[in-house]
Structure 1
Amino acid sequence: MQIAALDHLVLTVADIARTREFYRSVLGMETVTFGDGRQALRYGQQKINLHQAGLSFAPHARFPTPGSADLCFLLVGSIDATVSHLQASGVPIVAGPVRRTGATGTLRSIYIRDPDGNLLELSVPAGPSNEGG
């Protein structure tokens, strides 16, 4: 057996509507409804299924808890433009820009939190066009 890619992951959240709005307006993800009214966020070729805390679909993680995720997203564009967008959106930056190591090389990253407190790393490949402050 060999894994090819990640198709989707599940976030357990306190308030699906609030989460959908944050990921749509701040991160530009598409909100989708599927199945029997289930909610998700789509970006690129992946999606994040949203489960309401206390009402998770079975099977699910042993202890589904809002705010327990730590995710890294690769950005289109520059870190500097992303910092400006986050500031204009009133989203505090927890840390960064900093250099980190990603799955395929060095990244330039900033960190924010979503409404549940999940840590979101927003990154671009490090290189001459992304080395600014």
Structure 2
Amino acid sequence: MRIHELGHLVLYVRDLERSRRFYRDVLGWDEVRGEVPLPVPAAAFSSGRTHHELLLIEVGSAAAAMPPGPRLGLYHFGLKVGDSDDELREVVQHLTEHGVDIKGASDHTITHSLYIADPDGHEIELYVDVIPTEEWLADPSLVFAPIRPLRL
């Protein structure tokens, strides 16, 4: 067996409409709409790469919050937003205009990354590739280079 690609993520959310607006209106992800009613309140999103890359399932306001600090489970997921620091600067401006707090910024050598959280606290890495694939494939140690502060 061999994994070909990461297909999709499914996140539980408290308020589907609030999360739908965040992923659609703030992050600009295209929502996949269908006429078939789902058994639970849910919304799907796709960049066009596959049928859906993100599925949100509403679990309601009584759901327990994610505990802070180290824990088992999802730490964050990454969304590629371009291939240059200029594009990442545009993302910073867009997030600021939408009142989204940037929680961190890192230079990972092969990527430059911003970190934000969705309305339920799921951490999201918004990144640009700055090293061509051929380079890190030829030198995989670049993937594990020390993390430095990002200076945009």
What TM-score range do you get, normalising by the shorter chain? 0.7 to 0.9
Contact 1:13 1:65 (C-alpha < 8 Å) held by counterparts: no
Name the one with the larger helix percent: 2
1:59: which partner in 2? none
Q: Give the root-mean-square deviation of aligned CA atoms.
A: 2.4
1:61: which partner in 2? none
Alignment of 1:84-99 (within 5 A): 84-96=93-105, 98-99=106-107
Contact 1:80 1:132 (C-alpha < 8 Å) held by counterparts: no
Q: Distance in 2 between matches of 1:74 and 1:66?
A: 27
Question: Structure 2 vs 1, CA of residues 74 and 115 (structure 1 numbering), >3 Å: closer, same or farther?
Answer: same
1:25: which partner in 2? 25
DSSP 3-state at the match of 1:75: strand
Question: Structure 2 vs 1, CA of residues 114 and 94 (structure 1 numbering), >3 Å: closer, same or farther?
Answer: same
Instruction: Give deviations 1:27-85, integer Å, cap 9, x for gaps.
Output: 1101223453342121231421111126xxxxxxxxx9765641111113611111011
Gaps of 5+ in 1: 55-63
Q: Distance in 2 between matches of 1:84 and 1:90?
A: 10
2:37: which partner in 1? 36
Aligned residues: percent identity?
Answer: 34
Structure whose alpha-carbon radius of gyration is higher = 2
Contact 1:9 1:49 (C-alpha < 8 Å) held by counterparts: yes
| TM-score normalised over the length of structure 1 | 0.75
1:49: which partner in 2? 55
Report how far residue 100 of structure 1 moved.
2.1
Gaps of 5+ in 2: 67-72, 132-149
Q: Distance in 2 between matches of 1:16 and 1:89?
A: 19
One-letter code of the match for 2:19?
A: T
Count of residues in Structure 1 that have an aligned counterpart in Structure 2: 116
Contact 2:114 2:127 (C-alpha < 8 Å) held by counterparts: yes
DSSP 3-state at the match of 1:81: helix
Contact 1:53 1:66 (C-alpha < 8 Å) held by counterparts: no
Contact 1:24 1:31 (C-alpha < 8 Å) held by counterparts: yes
| TM-score normalised over the length of structure 2 | 0.66
Name the one with the larger strand percent: 1
